[in-house]
Structure 1
Amino acid sequence: MQVSQRVHYGLRAMTELAKAYGNGPVSLAEIAEAERLPAGYLEQLAMPLRRAGLIEGRRGLHGGYELAVPPADVTVGAVVRALDGAVAPVVCLTVEYVPGSCERDPVCLSRSVWKRVKDSVDRVLDSITLAELCTTSCAEPAVTFIPPEQIQRLGAKDPCSIAG
């Protein structure tokens, strides 16, 4: 399973809003700059996050976005579902799936494995709040950023191949 770019960027934007909670709205341009994300893409993410009741927007000179509820009340799972829908590693576990529409339903042995994976992922995502994310991981980066020019000087074509 891979997290979509939409969710990855959306969660990064939400952590910026969580860090600014209680200090007024933050513009998408500020979030884009802080997280090095395209502002235009963030605009696309704002609508589903608003519809889910996770953020509120304010217009005007000092406008922007802010969390609609405290960071401790927003789970990573809620952000994922707002942006991509429910996590489902296989089609038969999606909300849209009609039971019985697969001829393998009565005899499928692997579905139970994927159901357990889905339930485990949901449990983990729903157990982490934006507040927790910011207090545990925003204090220091998980990895050290290596600028592209330094990667080139090291002669690596794949940045992931550089050992720290």
Structure 2
Amino acid sequence: MRLTTKGRYAVTAMLDLALHAKQGPVSLADISARQEISLSYLEQLFAKLRRNELVQSVRGPGGGYRLGAEAAQIVVAQIIDAVNESIDATSCGGEGNCQDGQICLTHHLWCDLSKQIHQFLSGISLADLVARQDVVAVAKRQDDLQALDLIEASAV
């Protein structure tokens, strides 16, 4: 299974954006701090997400990013696809040259698994994730830690 940090970070950042959508545009710096993802890496990911219309940028003071559609309309598979991440369980990258340039015995099995995973992720929206109590609990902890960091930084 090849889902790299690019796909994981993109989904994490989009979920963070969805969780904080009611507060207005969300800065990449805030996402970076909460999720411990490099700001420059987020900028690269959000450029791809913007090109795929999954996010919109808001310029000016108080600017940042907002979702490009309702959270219920954005599914996890779209996010992964937008950052050019493939969900591929084959050892050949789906090329069919797994055994001396030919299809191996289990090639079709791993292709079917890849399709099932993509289909599964196509059935999960950001709204579904935002509604989960375990996700909300983690987001609250992250928000509390970020607020504490801001208080400590201003006291110095």
> Do both share a fold (TM > 0.5)?
yes
CA change 1:103–1:9 in 2 (3 A) is closer
The one-character-per-residue Cα deviations of 1:81-129 (angstroms, maximum 9, x if unpaired) are 1113332223352xxx599xx8424xx4312111111111111111111
The one-character-per-residue Cα deviations of 1:32-91 (angstroms, maximum 9, x if unpaired) are 122222212111111111111100111111211110001111111011111133322233
Q: Give the structure with the larger helix fraction.
A: 2
CA change 1:43–1:109 in 2 (3 A) is same
After TM superposition, give the deviation of residue 31 of structure 1 in Å.
0.9
Partner secondary structure for residue 140 of structure 1: helix
Q: Does 1:140 align with 2:137?
A: yes
- Percentage of pairs with the same residue: 29
What's the counterpart of residue 43 of structure 1? 43
Runs of 4+ that moved beyond 3 A: none
Counterpart of 1:42, as a letter, is L
Normalised by the size of structure 1, how large is the TM-score? Answer: 0.73
What's the counterpart of residue 151 of structure 1? none
CA change 1:42–1:132 in 2 (3 A) is same
C-alpha distance in 1 between matches for 2:27 and 2:66: 9
What's the counterpart of residue 120 of structure 1? 116
Partner secondary structure for residue 84 of structure 1: coil
Q: Unpaired segments of 5 or more residues in structure 2?
A: 142-156
Normalised by the size of structure 2, how large is the TM-score? Answer: 0.76
Q: Unpaired segments of 5 or more residues in structure 1?
A: 145-164
Structure number with higher relative contact order (C-alpha < 8 Å, ≥ 6 residues apart): 2
1:104 to 97, 102, 105: 102
CA contact (8 A) 2:88 2:114 kept: yes
Counting matched residue pairs gives: 136
What's the counterpart of residue 150 of structure 1? none
